[in-house]
Copies of this chain bind each other. A is one copy, B any other.
């Protein structure tokens, strides 16, 4: 993995490779582990994440499913209840609405409803986000919905290291874990650690230290925020960039410590503005360090419109570096 703070370009592996390495590692280490989802096998995964795994592990452990999101996600939950360690791939978050009932009403509640008798060690991965001109039904960023659900853990790896390491951490977690992989990151290159190690998923990461304002973000937007921070640096504004990494539970400590230092914060989130994860973080900052703030909090989110197909409109609908820079400047300028 190249240094945080710059979009890595000269490495030898991609984010896709990192996810694959994480899955492969889990399959090798734990015989209870298997991968299941639409086109994970023969096709190699719709984003080529699982390419080659079928040959290595066979069709029982790299299990192509019919188009039955509720059925196979529920089956993953059931298999976890039955002692397996399934990794279920829901092709994209866009289709996850069809299995949201299973995730909310079963994965997230069975432990509680059973008075703690059962755990559901299932990992559910899905691609998320816009930017590929896939239009209104294929461009959702619904992380905030999942982050609203008690009883599950929600991860959003933004780096190769996290993409690989979080998978293993998720597998050993006794509770359901949902992992969002931003579609724009799959081709991102870097290098993979030789030794695979689980990463701590409890903490947000400061990807760039700074003193003037805290930019809090996650997933695909991280790299836009880092680019914006570079641009801001040229204008003499020293931004700190926090990568949330885990969207549920949120690492308030890291966020608040940063905001207390910088006294200003900007939230960047590819979800639609109203009801965004950015809103939740703003609420927490106001609750926990209102008196430390020197300026109103601000956010850059997606416009409240189904994502349009044409590139210029899609770009305009999503958070972009200039808008982040502009919002940061306004936050700095606020008296």
Q: Which of chain B's residues have a CB closer than 8 A to the CB of A272?
A: 148-150
Residues A147 and B274 in contact, CB atoms below 8 Å apart:
yes
Count residues on chain A whose CB falls below 8 Å from chain B CBs: 52
- Which residue from B100, B144, B147, B282 sits with its C-beta under 8 Å from A282? B282
A46-54, A106-114, A168-176: which one contacts chain B? Answer: A106-114
CA distance A329 to B278 in the complex (A): 27
Residues B280 and A275 in contact, CB atoms below 8 Å apart:
yes
Within 8 Å of chain B (Cβ to Cβ): is A326? no
Within 8 Å of chain B (Cβ to Cβ): is A290? yes
Within 8 Å of chain B (Cβ to Cβ): is A24? no
Render A278-295 as a binary contact track against B, CB cut-off 8 A, 1 for contact: 111011001100110101
CA distance A70 to B95 in the complex (A): 13
- Nearest-CB residue, chain B, relative to A334: B290
Within 8 Å of chain B (Cβ to Cβ): is A67? no
CA distance A97 to B100 in the complex (A): 6
Q: B-contacting residues of A (Cβ < 8 Å)?
A: 70, 94-95, 97-98, 100-101, 104-105, 108-109, 112-113, 135-137, 140, 144-145, 147-151, 248-250, 271-272, 274-280, 282-283, 286-287, 290-291, 293, 295-299, 304-306, 308
Apart from A148-B274, A279-B279, what 20 extra A-B contacts exist at CB < 8 Å?
A70-B98, A97-B104, A97-B105, A104-B140, A105-B137, A108-B306, A109-B306, A113-B135, A113-B137, A147-B274, A148-B272, A149-B272, A274-B280, A275-B280, A276-B283, A283-B283, A283-B297, A286-B286, A286-B296, A287-B297
